[in-house]
């Protein structure tokens, strides 16, 4: 019997088993080490994530602090561009405050023996041109403009656009420091920090500054164009003053506030794009030559109360020869202007800022149950009534 061969075979089997055990131990150890490494990596990942979060929080805190630090510098830089306007309260026109958001935000003097009114303005050209509210100029007779340095000037020229509630005035001065209007490319968002400068309540408080945020955009408050809503304190006398972003640019001209028991910090400003549109026309024509459809229109109930709406505009009356020639009739409804849907009068007014009288637009309408398309030549709207619905 070959024991040697059997012993060799047994030894080989034992060696194989021992090798397998060795591989198992090595594998187990590798798995254990991998688990430890993974655990360590997990801890490291958590630590890194925590550190990253802390860094982000610190960065945000630094950013917020930096924005806060900018405010005094912005106020100091822009204040020389802000003026106070004071004079006799125009008889029959003057109202103290704007409890219903009417737009009248001028203020009376706190000196009971004088019947005075005042507001605010923003220098836009170094040679004496100033933008303010129409209701400020309409509400003051024999107005005096007072600069931040205390110099007094009379108004040499004035151009008023009641529809936008903006006015352009000129004083006989040179070397003034104009404010910068925010460019159209600048995006304003709800939550952006803002500063309001002006002359609240008493003329002795001119040069006052308040801070807040943009509370809302595209607000329609019984006016022709969209407004910016802010919680920065805007009080009677602030009308015509600037609403500034953190670049020190004018994003709006403060125009009105809601003032009633239980209502706090609801002010509204005319956006820079509307200000730019009106200024350009006042400089060029001395008035705003607004294009008009030559129609009196009525918006749907949803749009009127501020609900989201796809309701069309209804033609109440046809006023221009061009509209009559186009075949538009009372009772027709308008769905689109140049393929852009319309559901409110404010939307229409905003769209018409892109056009001039004499240009032709396309209206998609429904007339007697049929969908029709009309080409209409725009006329000039010289109406001073901002809420008449005459477009």
Report residue 195 as tokens.
């500063």
For residue 236, the SS3 value is coil
How many Cα atoms occupy the beta-carbon half-sphere of 283 within 13 Å?
Answer: 11
Residue 147 is inside which H or E element, if any? none
DSSP H helices in the chain: 3-78, 134-138, 272-285, 301-305, 321-325, 345-352
Report residue 244 as tokens.
């500034």
**Vertex 39: Cα angle to 38 and 41 (nearest 5):** 60
Catalytic, out of 161, 165, 273, 381: 165
Catalytic, out of 98, 106, 239, 344: 239
Q: Is 135 a catalytic residue?
A: yes
User: Cβ distance 346 to 220 under 8 Å?
Assistant: yes
* Cα torsion 337, 341, 344, 346: sign: negative
Burial class (CB in 10 A: 0-12, 13-18, 19+), 132: buried
* Cα torsion 222, 104, 271, 212: sign: negative
Catalytic, out of 106, 135, 161, 332: 135
Q: How far is CA 61 from CA 58, 67, 232, 255, in A?
A: 5, 10, 22, 33
- Torsion angles phi and psi, residue 108, rounded to 5: -85, 160
> Which of 90, 107, 78, 330 has its CA nearest to residue 179?
78
Q: Is 239 a catalytic residue?
A: yes
For residue 158, the SS3 value is strand
What residues are annotated to the active site? 135, 165, 239
């Amino acid at each position: 019997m070959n024991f040697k061969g059997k012993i060799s075979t047994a030894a080989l089997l034992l060696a194989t088993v021992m090798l397998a055990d060795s591989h198992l131990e090595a594998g187990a150890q590798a798995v254990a080490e991998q688990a430890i490494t993974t655990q360590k990596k997990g801890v490291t990942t958590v630590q890194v994530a925590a550190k990253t979060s802390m860094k982000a929080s610190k960065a945000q805190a630094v950013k917020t602090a930096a924005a806060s630090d900018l405010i005094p510098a912005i106020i100091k830089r822009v204040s020389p561009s802000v003026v106070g306007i004071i004079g006799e309260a125009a008889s029959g026109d003057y109202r103290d405050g704007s409890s219903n958001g009417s737009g009248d935000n001028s203020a009376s003097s706190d000196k009971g023996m004088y019947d005075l009114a005042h507001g605010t303005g923003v220098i836009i050209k170094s040679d004496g041109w100033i933008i303010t509210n129409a209701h400020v100029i309409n509400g003051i007779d024999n107005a005096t403009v007072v600069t931040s340095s205390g110099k007094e000037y009379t108004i040499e020229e004035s151009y008023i656009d009641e529809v936008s509630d903006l006015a352009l005035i000129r004083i006989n001065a040179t070397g003034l420091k104009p404010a910068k209007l925010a460019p159209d490319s600048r995006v304003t968002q709800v939550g952006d920090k803002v500063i309001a400068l002006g002359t609240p309540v008493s003329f002795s408080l001119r040069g006052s500054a308040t801070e807040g945020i943009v509370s809302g955009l595209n607000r329609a408050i019984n006016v022709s164009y969209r407004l910016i809503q802010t919680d920065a304190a805007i009080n009677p006398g602030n009308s015509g003053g600037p609403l500034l972003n953190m670049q020190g640019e004018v994003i709006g001209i403060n125009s009105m506030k809601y003032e009633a028991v239980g209502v706090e910090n609801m002010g509204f400003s005319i956006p820079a794009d509307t200000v730019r549109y009106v200024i350009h026309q006042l400089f060029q024509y001395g008035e705003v030559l607004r294009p008009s459809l030559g129609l009196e229109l009525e918006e749907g109930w949803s749009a009127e109360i501020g609900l989201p709406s796809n309701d069309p505009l209804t033609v109440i009356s046809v006023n221009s020869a061009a509209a009559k020639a186009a075949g538009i009739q009372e009772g027709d409804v308008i769905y689109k202007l140049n393929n852009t849907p319309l559901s409110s009068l404010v939307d229409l007014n905003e769209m018409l800022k892109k056009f001039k009288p004499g240009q032709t637009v396309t209206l998609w309408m429904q007339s007697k149950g049929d969908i029709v398309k009309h080409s209409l030549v725009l006329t000039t709207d010289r109406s001073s009534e901002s809420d008449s619905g005459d477009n």
